Structure 1
Amino acid sequence: MNGTVLVTYGTTNGSTARIAGAVADVLRENGLVVESLPARTVRSVTPYGAVVVGGALYAGRWHKDARRFVRRHREALAERPVWFFSSGPLDASASQRDIPPVRGVRRAMVRLDVQGHVTFGGCLEEGARGRVAGMILRSGKGGDFRDFGAIEAWAKGVADELSHME
């Protein structure tokens, strides 16, 4: 694949940004040129040959920055290979089974002919911002459920696919 790969993400407390960073690191380790940026800061996808978009899940919806990014750049995204990931379940479910994309993400996948999607476990720890986050933490349901082995394996698969595209 020619060109730089953009790994972009919507996050509130940084957990999804850390996942995006791990994805970007694996892509780089596999010989790709990668730029990783928060979705709200990306002005154009024209310089990129492929895009990975990640969004934290909140109440069954992708993070607003990820949703806005896809909507704002939909025409340009439709012209290049795109992968999506979601992060969010605050339990081990994402490590135990494939969790399908939420409805809005599924619709965007169809419109853009996205190459693939995966849902990773989320992370919500003390100090997280937001009223709902505070309620979840007070109920004892927080924690770090990210599986970096699974994240790295998925990113390696993306890198392999990109290496076969011309």
Structure 2
Amino acid sequence: MRILITYGSKLGGTREIAGQLASGLRAAGLDARALPPEEVDDVRAYDAVIVGGGLYAGRWHRRARRFVHRHVQALRERPVWFFSSGPLDDSASRGNVPPTTQVRALMEQVGARGHVTFGGRLEPDARGFIARAMAREHAGDWRDPEHVTRWAHSVALELRDAAFLEAPR
């Protein structure tokens, strides 16, 4: 089973989460690849898709949004999950952080099976006026590799269950 993980990432933290998800899915025996949206021509080459986006002021990264809009029909035809990254605290590791309204609307468009929010990362020397201002009080790395791995394994189990149910008997 071929799984695509694609992402919109501004500073690299979401890209790294996508890589961790791909590693977790491969460890579960699936063929998973993490690619930026601009390197994906056709999602029909994949059996399932995970789309992730960094959250910036409550909005999903535009590359993730554009990817969903560009491939909406093909995404409707396969299992899809979404992830967000961004809270600059430990809230995502402590409990479920629901998708933003914007992400929820995209999920509904493609019939996504689920969503998870992972903590974000902001370097103390972040560039840009807003990022620098935020870094003064919120610099740090709140990504939780164990949370990422657990979620990857839950997706792998769901895919295996779905494949079992669809297999001819």
Query: What's the TM-score bracket when you normalise by the shorter of the two chains?
Result: over 0.9
- 1:88 is the counterpart of 2:73: no
**Aligned equivalents of 1:89, 1:99: Cα separation in 2:** 9
- 3-state SS, counterpart of residue 131 of structure 2: helix
CA RMSD of aligned residues (A): 1.1
Query: Among the aligned pairs, what percent are the same residue?
Result: 52
Q: 1:78, 1:127 → 2: CA distance?
A: 40
The equivalent of 1:114 in structure 2 is 112
Q: Distance in 2 between matches of 1:71 and 1:150?
A: 28
Q: Which runs of 5+ in 2 are unaligned?
A: 164-169
Matched to 2:146, the amino acid is: G
Report what 1:67 is aligned to: 65
2:161 to 142, 148, 164: 164
5 Å-filtered alignment, 1:1-166, equals 3-137=1-135, 139-166=136-163
Q: CA deviation at 1:93?
A: 1.1
Aligned counterparts of 1:125 and 1:149: Cα–Cα separation in 2:
21
Misfit runs of 4+, over 2 Å: 126-131
More helix by share: 2
- Partner SS for 1:5: strand
Distance in 1 between the 2:93 and 2:59 partners?
A: 20
Q: What's the CA shift string for 1:21-50, capped at 9, x where partnerless? A: 110001001111112101232121110110
Distance 1:129 1:162 in 2: 39
Residue 18 of structure 2 aligns with an amino acid whose one-letter code is A
TM-score by length of 2: 0.92
Distance in 1 (CA, whole Å) between partners of 2:7 and 2:34 is 8
Bigger RCO (CA 8 Å, 6+ sep)? 1
Indicate conservation of the 8 Å contact 1:90/1:122, yes or no.
Answer: yes
Scaled by the length of structure 1, the TM-score of the pair is: 0.94
* Number of residue-to-residue matches in the alignment: 163
Question: Aligned AA for 2:65?
Answer: R
The answer for unaligned runs of 5 or more in structure 1 is none
Separation in 1, partners of 2:127, 2:66: 21
1:130, distance to aligned residue in structure 2 (A): 2.9
